[in-house]
């Protein structure tokens, strides 16, 4: 992958900071200002502004180590300021090429009492956000640390609107609902997920993190009126959060900022804050779409065999994939029995001696692998992380022999430092065997797809799998995702349900599950969400001859460019993404019928043909109904579409030949 070096030379500010109280750095366009107040004997505090609007006020920085507090007995050293442009290509992402200018400052802090520990505060400000992290340089009197707490806070100024998820504990699959309220109404002592959105008067700010590596994941909690960062503790106890040898550094604490929510959705700030690609040869990394028969219950209608952990069932889905341009077939097992040997026969709680090197007796994996290769379909293997990690290198070598192209690693449900290390270890080891990774039961992404582009998908959302056993999801949850979880990056959602019914006719079906969003909403989700492994979850018979299936076959999973023509928090989102010379537009609506109008000024010159899939006047009574129409447009056109409640639309735009 092509990589570029820093374009602007660093500029060293030679004057010491001892006489300065406040130091600041602005975004290249001048709209965002990040200021740090430094006073000897006090904790550093920072403020963030977007033009005249203050977003963060008097937010503290510091640490509590097992060796004592750091931050209140320090003096600043010489300030380093520099400007640059992050210029890079992405193998997988919302953009294929990024040029992201920034301004940066680094503030050295040193204790004036023994042991004279040193920590640097690094701040980077882009046009669409600001980020800071702490760097622990190698030093004589301090070689390692045990961190009990990171004393970072994110104190919002005033009383903005908040869109956030509350969690019961640090051990979680992150599959919850989002709540809207004023900041003053946020309850104290509740663990809050990131990203969380803060809406001011004409300005939006989302708090999240980037480049979480060899560190604990962070959450938010309101305490004594202040919003504080909380780190996930190491397993088996509650006090110790991070253990490290120096040199070391924390993740970036990120504030995504813009006048429109769409600015945050289209931002590349998270990948810009990550390291360049570590995989030397990326030619084998080919994103695409996959079957996932667990969702539909392994349906094999009109066949002479029973579904199960066998060759015939997998052949049925491989044939469907090969005949309809679907790149991968997922093998997970049958019902609740994994495909590999496990005495517990349990997805979530495998036996200690569960063996991913051996299939169950009914499954001839060599035959399945040979047939899939013959049909040009890649294999994608589900696996619980514990038996996989127990013999990681052996298992990956076996997967590679079978011709496995990817794997879904499931039930991690943690983001403490140990699990963060395990995830990166799995990514690195999988790359050695040319295998992509889809994390399920996992924490949010943090832009690591720049460093490890074989990470194709992450769950961490309450998604359409829940339609198999629950009635409490649908369009209102969907439309909160673009303004929260999607801001962190790739979002796996179990897309492709083609049996839609009105909410009052919905019933729980573990096999052939129903959905409560319209067919057009479902198609729109393939564009609105960022996911490099698109799922085609329903049974083959639910797609054949059905309107809209051709859009699923055509829509890409990686993009050259992303723009957001229109979006309104918790109401609707219209997202446009370019792949090559074609554009795809997706829109999702909440449960209220509405019309949207957007300009197509993101197009290039010339005439285009737009294939539009949208709701019609009868869709609310039969949500599988849609209209397909073709119109000719150019970059000066305006598209007006009415969306049903729980509706949406999808558009494929191609240059006119």
pLDDT at 17: 47
d(CA 459, CA 457): 7
Summarised one tens digit per residue, pLDDT across range 550-593 is 999 999 999 999 999 999 999 999 999 999 999 999 999 999 99
Q: Residue 5: is its pLDDT beyond 50?
A: no
pLDDT digits (tens, 9 = 90+) for 103-136: 999 999 999 999 999 999 999 999 999 999 999 9
Distance CA 434, CA 445 (A): 21
Question: What's the average model confidence in pLDDT over 360-380?
Answer: 98
Nearest to 160 by CA among 199, 197, 194, 196: 199
CB 397 within 8 A of CB 418: no
Average pLDDT, the chain: 95
Nearest to 264 by CA among 460, 94, 461: 94
User: What is the pLDDT confidence band of residue 11, given thresholds at 50, 70 and 90?
Assistant: very low
Q: How confident is the model at residue 284 (pLDDT cuts 50, 70, 90)?
A: very high
pLDDT at 291: 98
pLDDT above 60 for 9? no
- pLDDT-derived band at 186 (thresholds 50, 70, 90) equals very high
The crossing angle, in degrees rounded to 10, of helices 417-432 and 392-401 is 30
Single out the residue of 398, 360, 361 nearest to residue 379, CA to CA. 398
User: Is the model's pLDDT at 205 over the cut of 80?
Assistant: yes
Read off the pLDDT of each residue in 193-215 and give the average, rounded to a whole number: 98
The percent of residues above 90 in pLDDT, for the chain, comes to 95
288: helix, strand or coil: strand
Residue 4 has pLDDT above 70, yes or no: no
Task: State yes or no: pLDDT of 10 exceeds 50.
Answer: no
Q: Which of 408, 420, 403 is nearest to 384 (CA)?
A: 408
What pLDDT, in 10s, does the model give residues 14-23?
Answer: 344 444 589 9
Q: What was the pLDDT predicted at 85?
A: 98
Q: Give the pTM.
A: 0.95
Convert the pLDDT of each residue in 417-445 to its tens digit. 999 999 999 999 999 999 999 999 999 99
- 3-state SS of 184-207 is HHCCCCCEECCCEEEECCCCEEEE
Share of the chain above pLDDT 70, in %: 97
Mean pLDDT, range 45-73, rounded to an integer: 97
Q: Quick one: average pLDDT of 192-202?
A: 97
Rounded to whole angstroms, how far apart are CA atoms 595 and 472? 26
**Residue 12 scores a pLDDT above 70:** no
Residue 519 tokens read as 């067919």
460 neighbors 175 (Cβ within 8 angstroms): yes
Q: What is the arithmetic mean of pLDDT over 81-88?
A: 98
- The residue among 490, 444, 95, 12 whose CA lies nearest residue 272 is 95
């Amino acid at each position: 992958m092509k990589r570029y070096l820093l374009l602007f030379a660093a500029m060293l500010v030679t004057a010491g900071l001892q006489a300065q109280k406040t130091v600041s750095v602005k975004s290249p366009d001048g709209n965002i200002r990040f200021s740090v107040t430094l006073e000897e004997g006090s904790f550093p505090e920072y403020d963030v502004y977007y033009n005249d609007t203050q977003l963060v006020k008097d937010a503290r920085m510091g640490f509590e180590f097992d060796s004592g507090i750091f931050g209140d007995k320090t003096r600043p050293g010489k300030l380093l300021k520099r400007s640059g442009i992050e210029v890079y290509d992405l193998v997988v992402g919302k953009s294929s090429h990024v040029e992201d200018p920034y301004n940066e400052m680094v503030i050295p802090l040193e204790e004036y009492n023994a042991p004279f520990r040193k920590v640097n505060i690094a701040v980077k400000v882009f046009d669409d956000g600001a980020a800071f992290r702490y760097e622990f340089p190698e030093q004589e009197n301090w070689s390692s640390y045990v961190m009990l707490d990171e004393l970072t806070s994110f104190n919002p100024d005033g009383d903005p609107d908040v869109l956030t998820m509350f969690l019961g504990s640090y051990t979680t699959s992150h599959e919850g609902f989002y709540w809207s309220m004023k900041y003053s109404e946020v309850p104290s002592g509740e663990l809050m997920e990131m990203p969380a959105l803060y809406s001011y008067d004409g300005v939006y700010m989302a708090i999240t993190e980037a480049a979480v590596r060899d560190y604990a994941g962070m959450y938010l909690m309101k305490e004594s009126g202040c919003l504080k960062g909380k780190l996930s503790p190491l397993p088996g106890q509650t006090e110790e959060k991070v253990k490290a040898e120096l040199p070391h550094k924390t993740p970036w604490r990120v504030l995504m900022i813009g006048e429109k929510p769409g600015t945050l959705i289209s931002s590349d700030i998270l990948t810009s804050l990550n390291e360049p690609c570590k995989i030397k040869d990326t030619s084998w990394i080919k994103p695409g779409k996959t079957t996932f028969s667990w969702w539909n219950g392994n349906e094999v209608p009109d066949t002479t065999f029973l579904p199960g952990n066998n060759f015939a069932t997998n052949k049925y889905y491989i044939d469907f994939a090969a005949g309809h341009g679907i790149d991968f077939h997922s093998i997970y097992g049958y019902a609740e029995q994994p495909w590999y040997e496990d005495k517990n026969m349990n997805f979530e709680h495998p036996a200690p001696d569960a063996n991913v090197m051996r299939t169950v007796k009914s499954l001839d994996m060599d035959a399945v692998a040979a047939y899939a290769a013959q049909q040009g379909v890649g294999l994608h293997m589900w696996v619980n992380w514990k038996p996989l990690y127990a013999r990681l290198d052996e298992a990956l070598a076996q997967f590679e022999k079978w011709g496995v192209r990817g794997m879904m690693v499931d039930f991690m449900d943690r983001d403490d430092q140990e699990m963060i290390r395990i995830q990166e270890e799995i990514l690195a080891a999988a790359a050695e065997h040319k295998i992509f990774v889809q994390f399920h039961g996992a924490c949010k992404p943090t832009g690591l797809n720049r460093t490890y582009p074989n990470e194709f998908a992450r769950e961490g959302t309450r998604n359409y799998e829940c339609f198999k056993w629950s009635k409490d999801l649908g369009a209102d949850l969907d439309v909160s995702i673009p303004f929260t979880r999607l801001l962190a990056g790739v979002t796996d959602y179990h897309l492709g349900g083609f049996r839609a019914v009105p909410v009052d006719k919905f019933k729980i079906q573990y096999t052939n599950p129903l959905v409560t969003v319209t067919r057009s909403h479902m198609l729109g989700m393939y564009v609105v969400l960022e996911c490099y492994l698109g799922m085609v979850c329903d049974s083959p018979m639910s797609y054949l001859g059905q309107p809209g299936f051709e859009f699923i076959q055509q829509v890409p999973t990686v993009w050259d460019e992303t723009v957001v023509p229109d979006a309104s928090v918790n109401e609707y989102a219209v997202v446009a993404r370019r792949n090559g010379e074609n554009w795809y537009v997706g829109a999702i609506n909440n449960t209220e019928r509405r019309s949207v109008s957007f300009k197509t000024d993101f197009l290039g010159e010339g005439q285009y043909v737009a294939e539009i899939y949208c709701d019609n006047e009868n869709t609310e009574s039969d949500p599988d109904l849609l209209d397909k129409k073709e119109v000719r447009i150019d970059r000066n056109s305006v598209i007006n579409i009415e969306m049903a409640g729980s509706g949406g639309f999808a558009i494929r735009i191609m240059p006119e030949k």
